[in-house]
Structure 1
Amino acid sequence: MDNRRKQLITLLSQKDNQYISGQVLSNELQISRSAVWKHMKELEKDGYIIEAVTRKGYRIVKHPDKISGNTLQWGLETNWLGQSLTFEEQTESTQTIAHQLAQQGAIHGSVVVADEQLEGRGRLNRPWHSEKGSGIWMSMILRPEIQPHKAPQLTLLTAVAIVETLKKVCKIEPKIKWPNDIFIHDRKLAGILTEMQAETDQIQYVIIGLGLNVNHRSDDLPEALQNIASSIHIETGKQWPRAHIIQRFLVELEGLYEHFIQHGFAKIKEMWLANAYKIGEQITVHTRNKAWEGILLGIQDDGALRVEEVENKEQHILYSAEIEWHKRRDEE
């Protein structure tokens, strides 16, 4: 994003819907009034509705519903996360772009956002439905100075940031389903994909991908997903400005990340457990050729699941397992 244009929208936002004269903007930005006008026209292309009144100046009367590099950085209150931002109208996968940028030296906190993904993917390379204009599809590049074995904690941290954002912004109460999903009312709302490039004792970079269903209606989802997936719109009956959700999420994630780096994982783990899906409830675990009933107790610091077997009270630490989270209807 043009730095002067970023300064311009910052100045306009500070006036809180009041007019600011072209001369004041010209002086503040150290550009001509003609250049100010040209920047206004570029903002209008992004969907901002700008009112210009003789002898009063300019004001923004409506923010755009669509997302773009400009709308995402308008009012972004982070110190470093998302300040370097790449936006694509359409791409195969934000993860792919983020890996390319990271390998080219992209700075810590760089973010990639797309309006549409053609080959969005989740854990185990499962496809992720990522249609244009409906959801949030983004990837973040982090370069944490932590040991590689602690990288799974970043997935748990991201899940907490998503839940806290949706509680505060959308007033809904989602839950975190181990290892990397966000659920609401037993349906999937979001997924997290964490990928790492590292050496034995040093992380080069971590890419954290997020797919969040925002304004999907039920019939927008593929038929196979309509009974197992949801969206913020389905849950609230409202359309939501995706740029605002992204901005608030980046603020939440930056704060949690900085706490994690400075003070460790204890608080993040506590918040994760407070929002965990099916915590304290019975689940069915399939490991190797055995299926058994267990009570979900929590997680380890390394992200492993802790489950107590119902039959013998033995505790298990699970790094990977197939889990039935609730009974099928024909078993009820």
Structure 2
Amino acid sequence: MQEAMIEIEGLRKVYASGFEALKGVDLSIRRGEIFALLGPNGAGKTTLISVVCGLVNPSAGHVRVGSHDILEEFREARSRIGLVPQELTNEAFSTVWDTVSFSRGLFGKPKNPGHIEKVLRSLSLWDKRKNRLITLSGGMKRRVLIAKALAHEPEVLFLDEPTAGVDVELRRDMWEVVRGLRDNGVTIILTTHYIEEAEEMADRIGVIRNGELVLVEDKHQLMRSLGSKELTLHLHEPVSAVPTALERFDLRLAEDGHALVYSYDASREDSDHQGSIADLLASVESAGLSFKDLHTRQSSLEEIFVNLVRERA
């Protein structure tokens, strides 16, 4: 087992209005993993991040970052965290170099021009280092936010919707940086509306809804256990109905009658899949049908997420 970098126990947050944003959240995040926190708007993602980062006080529970309690050992805990917020909150008239260097100084770190240069180059900001922030595009400003979060060499990096409004090329560059950080032992926690990013990047997935953490699972295990697969047979000649001899396979007929779709559980063993598919193909031929092509597809993380949230609703 990898060492826990973040430990959350019984975390609750109730605002003065009486709204309960977090309802007894328990979560452990390992050092050096990428953890994706998914949930609909208003589910509690940003509140959870804000509590861990010391921006919002919890109503109950305990949070430790690198074994340091966020309330009793605030400075030690907070110095290990870098946060990239959703909002673009930069000083408009500062230069890129100055604002990133200032962020390092806020944590009491000595000047290290070499590290600042490395961060700026990794985010393709080196050529913009003398530019005032007011002159940058929205995507470049978001890169500056990431640079500020990395200035003090944190062990944990929170990315709250980091690629919102960012073009595809910029997004790819950011994820290359994230992969490099993970490879160097930095723990990454991200929230995103681009679920394909979580599917590509994350080691584990957590789903939060109405302030409750309803699921935490290894990404691949999640897709195996909750996903499904489909085998589509494209027929040479259309049929008006599924032949009686094939009804036991619970096939779905395409609207134009040119394809038969077989759905099966992705969590079953490959040998089971192969046996049932071989049986299906033999039965199709026995029923007098011939097919010109076949292909398979597996549920995406987005489909699993949407179905899971709908079921828990």
Q: TM-score, normalised by structure 1?
A: 0.22
Structure of higher RCO (CA pairs closer than 8 Å, 6+ residues apart): 2
Choose 1 or 2 for highest CA Rg. 2
